[in-house]
Amino acid sequence: MIAPRTLFDKIWDAHAILAAPDGTTLLWIDRHLVHEGSFHAFAMLDRDARQVARPDLTFGVADHYVPSHSRALPVADPEAAGLIARLAANAARHGFDHMGMDDPRQGIVHVVGPEQGITLPGLTLVCGDSHTATHGALGALAFGIGASEVAHVLATQTLWQARPKRMRISIDGRLAAQVSAKDLILAIIARIGASGAVGFAIEFAGPAVRALSMEARMTLCNMAIEAGSRTGMIAPDDTTFAWIAGRARAPHRAAFDAAVADWRALATDPAAMFDREVRLDGASVAPMVTWGTTLDTALPVDARVPDPADAPDAASRQRMAEQLAYMDLIPGAPLAGTKIDQVFIGSCTNGRIEDLRAAAAILRGRRAAVPGRVVPGSVPIQRAAEAEGLDRVFIDSGLTWGEPGCSMCTGINGDYVAPGARCAATSNRNFAGRQGQGARTHLMSPAMAAAAAIAGALVDPRQEAHP
Phi, psi of 46 (to 5 degrees): -60, -40
Phi, psi of 169 (to 5 degrees): -110, 110
CB 405, CB 413: distance < 8 Å: yes
pLDDT (mean) for 377-385:
98
What residues are paired with 158 via a beta bridge? 28
Cβ neighbours of residue 403 closer than 8 Å, sequence gap 6 or more: 66, 67, 68, 69, 70, 71, 375, 382
- pLDDT score of 442 more than 80: yes
Same-domain pairing of 298 and 436: yes
Same-domain pairing of 438 and 308: yes
Question: Quick one: what percent of the chain has pLDDT higher than 70?
Answer: 99
Q: What's the pLDDT at 467?
A: 53
Same-domain pairing of 180 and 211: yes
What CATH number did the domain enclosing 204 receive?
A: 3.40.1060.10
Residue 467 forms part of a structural domain:
no
What gap in Å lies between CA 67 and CA 53, rounded to an integer?
31
Residue 36 forms part of a structural domain:
yes
Same-domain pairing of 296 and 314: yes
Residue 466: pLDDT band (50, 70, 90) is low
Residue closest to 445 by CA, chosen among 133, 178, 177:
178
pLDDT (mean) for 296-316:
96
CB 132, CB 142: distance < 8 Å: yes
Phi, psi of 170 (to 5 degrees): -105, 135
Q: What's the pLDDT at 15?
A: 98
What residues are paired with 298 via a beta bridge? 290
Instruction: End-to-end CA distance of the chain: give it in Å, rounded.
Output: 57
Residue 1 forms part of a structural domain:
no
DSSP state for residue 344 in the 8-state scheme? E
- Domain end, chosen from 225, 249, 284, is at 284
Residue 14 forms part of a structural domain:
yes
Residue 411: pLDDT band (50, 70, 90) is confident
CB 282, CB 172: distance < 8 Å: yes
- Domain end, chosen from 284, 319, 353, is at 284
Q: Is 369 helix (H, G, I), strand (E, B) or coil?
A: coil
* pLDDT tens-digit readout, 63-79: 999 999 999 899 999 99
Same-domain pairing of 244 and 306: no
Residue 466 forms part of a structural domain:
no
Count the neighbouring beta carbons within 10 Å of the beta carbon of residue 199: 14
CA distances 157 to 27, 138, 139, Å, are: 9, 21, 20
Write down the mean pLDDT value for the chain.
97
Same-domain pairing of 154 and 171: no
Same-domain pairing of 155 and 23: yes
* pLDDT tens-digit readout, 209-226: 999 999 999 999 999 999
CA distances 41 to 94, 97, 150, Å, are: 13, 17, 6
Residue type, 283: A
pLDDT (mean) for 134-139:
98
> Residue 143: which H helix or E strand, with range?
strand 141-144
Q: Is 61 helix (H, G, I), strand (E, B) or coil?
A: strand
Residue 68 forms part of a structural domain:
yes
The pTM score is 0.97
CB 326, CB 432: distance < 8 Å: yes
What CATH number did the domain enclosing 383 receive?
A: 3.30.499.10
Q: What's the pLDDT at 347?
A: 98
Domain interval for residue 440 = 289-461
Counted residue by residue, the chain has a size of 467
Q: What's the pLDDT at 316?
A: 95
pLDDT (mean) for 151-172:
98
- pLDDT score of 149 more than 60: yes
Q: In total, how many domains does the chain have? A: 3
Cβ neighbours of residue 386 closer than 8 Å, sequence gap 6 or more: none
Strands ordered across the beta sheet of 141-144 = 97-99, 58-61, 31-34, 124-127, 141-144
* pLDDT tens-digit readout, 316-356: 999 999 999 999 999 999 999 999 999 999 999 999 999 99
Residue type, 218: M
- pLDDT score of 402 more than 70: yes
Residue closest to 57 by CA, chosen among 114, 88, 96, 108:
96
Count the neighbouring beta carbons within 10 Å of the beta carbon of residue 58: 24
Same-domain pairing of 36 and 50: yes
| Continuous H helices in 389-431 | 390-397
Same-domain pairing of 47 and 81: yes
CA distances 387 to 223, 384, 390, 455, Å, are: 29, 5, 8, 28
What gap in Å lies between CA 379 and CA 381, rounded to an integer?
5
Residue 28: pLDDT band (50, 70, 90) is very high
* pLDDT tens-digit readout, 89-127: 999 999 999 999 999 999 999 999 999 999 999 999 999
pLDDT (mean) for 242-262:
98
Same-domain pairing of 316 and 185: no
Q: What's the pLDDT at 23?
A: 87
Count the neighbouring beta carbons within 10 Å of the beta carbon of residue 443: 31
Same-domain pairing of 107 and 218: no
Residue closest to 421 by CA, chosen among 349, 343, 324, 350:
343
Cβ neighbours of residue 238 closer than 8 Å, sequence gap 6 or more: none
Residue 242 forms part of a structural domain:
yes
* pLDDT tens-digit readout, 39-61: 999 999 999 999 999 999 999 99
Strands 342-345 and 372-374: parallel
Which residues of 146-287 form beta strands (DSSP E)?
A: 158-161, 165-172, 200-205, 231-233, 276-281
